Amino acid sequence: MAGVEPPPARGATILHADLDAFYASVEQLLEPALRNRPIAVGGSVVLAASYEARSYGVRGGMPGWRARQLCGDLLFVGGHFERYQQFGDDVVSVFHDFTPWVERVSIDEAFLDVAGTVHLLGAPTEIAAAIRRRVRDEIGLPVSIGVASTKHLAKVASQVAKPDGLVAVAPGDEMSFLDPLPIGLIWGVGAATERRLHDVGIFTIGQLAEAGSPILANLLGQAAGTKLAALSTNVDERAVREAAGPKSMGAQAALGRRAPTPQLVRDTLGYLADRVAARLRKATLAGRTVTVRVRFAQLRSVTRSVTLPTAISTTLTLTEIAEGLAGAALRDNEREREISLLAVSVSNLHPEHSLQLELPVDAPAWRRDAAPRPRSVVEAGRWGVDRSVDAIRDKFGRTAVGYAAVALSDAERVPEEFRELAERGPGGSSGEE
């Protein structure tokens, strides 16, 4: 039903469904001996933890050695990455049996608008309960659901419902529900933002609402402050929409707090550009606008972007452009001694076949008496190399071949299978935070 808008929501008709400890729950489903035991997917890094492991403080993104310190009985499993997508797709199919308006935001969560089906299937809470029963009975996985009048509030409610629960917020009860909750439940508040708000005495969503937009903008920046002020009072006009094609593709890497040495910047941007460019080519897309974001130690971020005359999808070209943009951002902020994140994105996307008009791969462009542009010659060569790399990776796996600067880097990365799985989501961007 692409292009069809859902009917206007009346009351609390938006659902947010979130599979509980998804990767770990799939492992426990596939191997009954793991059920009710503290397990973690991963090895050197915890990619996901079961609720039994979380009760000891084990969390995703935590170093493996630290997780073992917290939970001596913790069992690490390698992960059935090929099965995760299948289970996620099966669950979304159940959602579509209850409403055509399903907005999948990741492999394990989605928003649903049931305003148009309540006259057939019952109240939103009844629909949510029926979805939970079917996912449990037919697929075997637990799912928590929040029901509310806005997407933001439904997502908060689903987090409160975890594990394996259902929470509905009736119209008129929004602020009494939100006010006492911790700020970490707000969409977009990460650990660093949470610490900064705690430092000034803001711990609950109600306190965040009282602070107001001017104070939050001064503390977190105009965009972030305005957004959090709105969400803290449940101002969220976004509708549930079917996922559209990506408007951009990007990747980011959280770095902790590190000095922006040329080696660190070059290796990180090379890795990110390799991921983004490969995904562009896989989707037969190329982009004209390249944006780099640098986040400094105190959460202040700067971006630099450039719009090119011709769309690109080659890894080395994207790497070079990203390095130049990051270098400009760092030079403009010489007083900053540490960075905590680098991100690369490509937007202004076009079908990749349009590139063929720019690349001199046809005979006339290679005649001895022709004068092809040097950049076109370089791009043609790089495009051919990238296509060869893509073909080898498709057959033997991503780690089978790569550019030396990325392949030989000693930086610890999330396993490739996990990263590729995350990048299949509808949003088009991925991260390492």
Mean pLDDT by 10-residue block, N- to C-terminus, for the chain (433 residues)? Answer: 44 94 95 95 88 94 92 91 86 94 91 94 96 96 97 97 96 95 90 89 95 87 89 93 77 88 93 92 89 87 89 92 95 91 91 47 36 52 81 76 63 58 50 35
Q: How far apart are CA 264 and CA 338, in angstroms?
A: 11
Q: Exposed (0-12), middle (13-18) or buried (19+): which is 386, by Cβ within 10 Å?
A: buried
Q: Tokens representing 350?
A: 């076009």
| 107 contacts 84 by C-beta, under 8 angstroms | yes
- Nearest residue to 123 via CA among 6, 5, 12: 12
Q: How far apart are CA 293 and CA 322, in angstroms?
A: 10
Q: Tokens representing 121?
A: 């299937």
User: According to the model, what pLDDT value does residue 323 have?
Assistant: 95
Q: How far apart are CA 311 and CA 351, in angstroms?
A: 9
| 105 contacts 96 by C-beta, under 8 angstroms | no
| 194 contacts 184 by C-beta, under 8 angstroms | yes
Distances (CA, A) of 252 to 31, 258, 345: 33, 15, 8
Q: Tokens representing 334?
A: 């010489």
CB atoms within 10 A of CB 257: 12
User: 3-state SS string over the chain?
Assistant: CCCCCCCCCCCCCEEEEEECCHHHHHHHHHCHHHCCCCEEEECCEEEEECHHHHCCCCCCCCEHHHHHHHCCCCEEECCCHHHHHHHHHHHHHHHHCCCCCEEEEECCEEEEECCCCHHHHCCHHHHHHHHHHHHHHHHCCCEEEEEECCHHHHHHHHHHHCCCCEEECCCCCHHHHHCCCEHHHCCCCCHHHHHHHHHCCCCEHHHHHHHHHHHHHHHHCHHHHHHHHHHHCCCCCCCCCCCCCCCEEEEEEEEEEECCCHHHHHHHHHHHHHHHHHHHHHCCEEEEEEEEEEEECCCCEEEEEEEEEEEECCHHHHHHHHHHHHHHHHHCCCCCCCEEEEEEEEEEEEEHHHHHHCCCCCHHHHCCCCCCCHHHHHHHHHHHHHHHHHHHHHHHCHHHCCCHHHHCCCCCCCCHHHHHHHCCCCCCECCCC
List 109, 358, 420, 432, catalytic entry? 109
Backbone angles phi, psi at 244, to 5 degrees: -95, 175
- Determine whether 109 is an active site residue: yes
- Nearest residue to 270 via CA among 179, 402, 380: 402
| 176 contacts 182 by C-beta, under 8 angstroms | no
User: According to the model, what pLDDT value does residue 360 have?
Assistant: 36
Q: Which residue has the tokens 């550019």?
A: 403
Q: How far apart are CA 60 and CA 48, in angstroms?
A: 5
Q: How far apart are CA 117 and CA 96, in angstroms?
A: 11
Q: What's the whole-model pTM score?
A: 0.66
